Amino acid sequence: MEQKRADKIADALEGLIFDGTFADGTRLDEVQLAEQFSVSRTPVREALQRLAQFGLVEHLPRRGVFVRQPGPVELIEMFEVMAELESVCARLAASRITDKALAELQATNARCDLAVERQDPDEYYRENERFHAILYCQSGNAFLEQECHKLHRRLQPFRRTQLRLRGRLRQSMSEHEAVVSALEDGDGARAAEAIRAHVAVQGEKFHHLIASLKPAAE
């Protein structure tokens, strides 16, 4: 499991874009990054190409690569797709999920509950991730699972801010329970609707998401 230098650079750059070090529209200079990472331009270029494929940067031929933060509209769209993908997972999982996975889902949810009691957002975050990962897996469709993980990862920085909303943790919990309940009953339609409502950006969440974007948009 030897990771190439290019991979590590790509990960590092992804982090720097996520945490706002590189604002939207910033040009990423190859030679500058190269000496910053103490490597040649070659691995830097590889990393940038990977980021371009992931949509984090835009590569204009003969012009350079520029950070491409999603705007409000694109973000809403991505969350809509995420909601629909997870909805599909839930519907498929309703008939395909194993007893063991269902038990693990309940256990994960219980740990979420504990995290809410302890007011531990980080722990909640971890268990929440696990909850969704199980759902993806239990769709029984490995390709769908992969696609979900990709988009999930892409939306990660925006979802973290969402969890800081007052009372959001408890509400998120009850939404999880609705999903589990529907899965227990093998009710695909209900499970799909429950997870869609959980993931979709609507109501308060919408305003909070837009507000969190303001600094970067300026």
Q: If binding is defined by CB under 8 A, does position 142 make contact with its own copies?
A: yes
The count of residues interacting with DNA (CB under 7 A) is 21
Given its own copies, DNA, none, residue 5, with its beta carbon under 5 to 8 Å by kind, binds DNA
- Helix then strand then coil, in percent of the chain rounded to 5, is 75, 5, 20
Supply the minimum distance, in Å, between the C-beta of residue 12 and DNA.
13
Q: What are 204-208's contacts with CB under 8 Å, separation 24+?
A: 204/165, 205/162, 205/165, 206/76, 208/161, 208/162, 208/165
C-alpha to C-alpha distance for 5 and 197, rounded to whole angstroms: 41
Q: If binding is defined by CB under 7 A, does position 11 make contact with DNA?
A: no
For the beta carbon of residue 24, count every other beta carbon within 10 angstroms.
Answer: 16
Q: Which stretch binds DNA (CB under 7 A): 63-71, 81-89, 173-181, 184-192?
A: 63-71
For the record, the structure tokens of 159 come out as 């979802």
Comparing CB distances to its own copies, the nearer of 4 and 164 is 4
| Among 12, 24, 45, 81, contact with DNA (rule: CB under 7 A) | 45
DSSP 95: H
Q: If binding is defined by CB under 8 A, does position 62 make contact with its own copies?
A: yes
Q: If binding is defined by CB under 8 A, does position 11 make contact with its own copies?
A: no
Q: If binding is defined by CB under 8 A, does position 78 make contact with its own copies?
A: yes
Comparing CB distances to its own copies, the nearer of 126 and 154 is 154
Instruction: Please give the span between the terminal C-alpha atoms of the chain, in angstroms, as a whole number.
Output: 41
DSSP 167: T
Burial of 187 (0-12, 13-18, 19+ CB in 10 A): middle
Q: How far is CA 75 from CA 52, 141, 157, 200, 212, in A?
A: 17, 25, 11, 11, 12
Q: If binding is defined by CB under 8 A, does position 46 make contact with its own copies?
A: yes
| Among 29, 35, 74, 122, contact with its own copies (rule: CB under 8 A) | 74
Q: Which stretch binds its own copies (CB under 8 A): 31-39, 44-52, 163-171, 174-182?
A: 44-52
Q: Which residues bind DNA (CB under 7 A)?
A: 2, 4-6, 27, 29-31, 39-43, 45-46, 59, 61-65
Q: Which residues bind its own copies (CB under 8 A)?
A: 2-4, 46, 49-50, 53, 61-62, 73-74, 77-78, 80-81, 84-85, 88, 141-144, 147
